[in-house]
Amino acid sequence: LTLAVVLPRHNLTYPWAWPRVGPAVRLATAAVNSRRDLLPGFTLRWVLGSSEDRHGVCSEMAAPLAAVDLRLAHDPAAFVGPGCVYSAAPAHGFDDKREEFALTTRAGPSHRKLGELGVQLHRRFNWTRRALLVYWDERLDDRPYYFAAEGLYVQLPTLRNLTVVDVVFRDGGNFSFIIQEIKAKGR
C-alpha cells in the first residue's frame, strides 16, 4: 500500500517541509507496519515527490507534476500534501480506472469558504459600513495571502451594501498617500 507524499523537499521556511514532516511519516509508517492487525495483508510504504520549483518555493507547476509522476509510477492509495495552496487533484485525471479518489481530506477550508465566512461575519455582526483587507503578495512564494484575500474579494460584494475596491500599494511607496487612500475609500 503506497502513500505518496508531495511536500517541499528542502525549504525549511515551510512548516510542512519534508525535513520537518518526514520523520513523522517514517515513524507512522513503521508503527503501522509493526501492527499486523491494522492493515492485514498489506505493507505500508511511502514515496516522496517535491513540490518545490528551482528556487525552492512551493510551485503551482511542480506540485501537480510531482503528484502526476507519483500517480503514474507508484499508483498510490493516498496522497499527503502538497502542502502548498495547489491541489494534487490533477493527478486523478491520469487514472482511467477510478471514478474518484475514495477520500480527500483538507486541512483547511477552501478560499471561497473563507470568503463566505467573511460574509457571514458581516451579516452576523451587522458590519455594513467598512471592510479593509490588506495583504502582502510576494510573487516568488506560494502566495497564500493572495488566494485567501481572493475568497473575500469575490464574496463580499454578495452583501450588496459594500463597494469593493482594490488599491495596489507599491513596495517602498508613499505611506502617507496610502493612509489617505485608505481613509478616503473606507468612508
Of residues 8, 175, 167, the one with CA closest to residue 86: 8
> Are 132 and 50 in the same domain?
no
How far is CA 99 from each of CA 54, 75, 93, 94, 171, rounded to the nearest angstrom? 34, 15, 10, 11, 47
> Are 20 and 80 in the same domain?
yes
- CA–CA distance, 87 with 116 (Å, rounded to integer): 20
> Are 6 and 90 in the same domain?
yes
**Residue 69 within a domain:** yes
> Are 88 and 128 in the same domain?
no
Q: Is the pTM of this model over 0.75?
A: no
**Residue 103 within a domain:** no
Question: Which of the listed residues 27, 59, 94 is the one where a domain comes to its end?
Answer: 94
How many independent structural domains does the chain possess? 2
Set of cell numbers at residue 116: 463566505
**Residue 66 within a domain:** yes
> Are 59 and 6 in the same domain?
yes
> Are 85 and 122 in the same domain?
no
> Are 131 and 88 in the same domain?
no
Structural domain containing residue 61: 2-94
**Per-residue confidence of the chain (187 residues) as pLDDT tens digits?**
999 999 999 988 887 889 999 999 999 999 999 999 999 999 999 999 999 989 888 877 888 888 889 999 999 988 888 766 555 555 555 555 555 555 555 555 677 788 888 889 888 888 876 666 666 666 665 566 676 778 888 888 888 777 777 777 666 667 787 778 777 776 5
The residues, any chain, with a CB within 8 Å of residue 56's CB and separated by 6 or more, are 8, 10, 11
> Are 50 and 119 in the same domain?
no
Decide: 149 and 135 in contact? Cβ < 8 Å. yes
- CA–CA distance, 134 with 168 (Å, rounded to integer): 10
Q: What is the pLDDT of residue 2?
A: 95
